[in-house]
Amino acid sequence: MYEYIYEKGKENKPTFILLHGTGGDERNLIPVAQAIDVDANILSIRGNVSENGMNRYFKRHGEGHYDWEDLEKRGKELYQFIEELAEKHGFSLEDGIYLGFSNGSNIAMNMLLSEENRINKAMLFAPMYPKELAEKNDLASRKVYLSMGENDPIVPLEESKRVINHFTSQDAEVTEFWVNSHELNEQTLLAAKKWYEELE
């Protein structure tokens, strides 16, 4: 169903679940994860949707126009796949941390916003979730680092603020970091590393 890479780290270390952006693959974010914690486990999954030859995690009708039915379906499938890999490779979902960029952040949000999701931590770079939520869940156990662009050409500022609200309105603990564009640069990487090191 999915192509993936699993690299075992040191004992009692969390597992980074890497979810790439549109056109990326399972190798893209490994250097990012290693820069944050070289000793962590790594599970990096390639999106199984093709858009003009580019890998993605769910379908869309155009830039910023999601196929919400497809996103819901594929979010459930991806989470089930992660559950299976946790059992296969012997890591705890409660010790998992989503690390996503752009399209990968968006599928991670879909999973994080579900109460059934047992992965409670995430580093999301350039996320967008342009939808009013039909229901509110108790996400008080969630700790989320959000990196967003003040002049992002893909994600309008109001959509970044909507992402923040999706989490804060459901009692998640949110740390914001603002960059200029649709990017994952050194400054936000260092801030994400600091956030990660201060996790309880």
pTM: 0.97
- The 10 Å CB-count burial string (b at 16+, else e) for 144-154 is bbbbbbeebee
pLDDT of res. 28 = 97
Residue 40 φ/ψ region, left for φ over 0, alpha for ψ in the -120 to 50 degree band, beta for the rest: beta
d(Cα 103, Cα 19) in Å, to the nearest integer?
8
pLDDT in tens, the chain (200 residues): 799 999 999 999 999 999 999 999 999 999 999 999 999 999 999 999 999 999 999 999 988 899 999 999 999 999 999 999 999 999 999 999 999 999 999 999 999 999 889 999 999 999 999 999 988 899 999 999 999 999 999 999 999 999 999 999 999 999 999 999 999 999 999 999 999 999 97
Q: Is 102 a catalytic residue?
A: yes
Q: Is 152 a catalytic residue?
A: yes
Q: Which of 101, 78, 91 is nearest to 41 (CA)?
A: 91
pLDDT of res. 41 = 98
d(Cα 17, Cα 190) in Å, to the nearest integer?
18
pLDDT of res. 152 = 98
pLDDT of res. 1 = 79
Q: Identity (one letter) of the amino acid at 6?
A: Y
Kindly name the residue from 102, 105, 147, 160 that is annotated as catalytic. 102
d(Cα 120, Cα 69) in Å, to the nearest integer?
24
Please name the residue that has the structure tokens 């699993």: 6
Question: Residue 189 has which token pair?
Answer: 């990487």
Kindly name the residue from 105, 147, 160, 182 that is annotated as catalytic. 182
Question: Residue 43 has which token pair?
Answer: 């599970």
What residue ranges in 93-158 does DSSP mark as E strands? Answer: 96-101, 121-125, 143-149
| Upper half-sphere CA count for residue 60 (Cβ side, 13 Å) | 18
d(Cα 24, Cα 109) in Å, to the nearest integer?
18
Kindly name the residue from 20, 105, 152, 166 that is annotated as catalytic. 152
By three-state DSSP, how is residue 143 classified?
A: strand
Q: Which of 109, 90, 101, 114 is nearest to 12 (CA)?
A: 90
- For residue 67, the cross-strand partners are none
Please name the residue that has the structure tokens 């910023």: 64
Q: Is 182 a catalytic residue?
A: yes
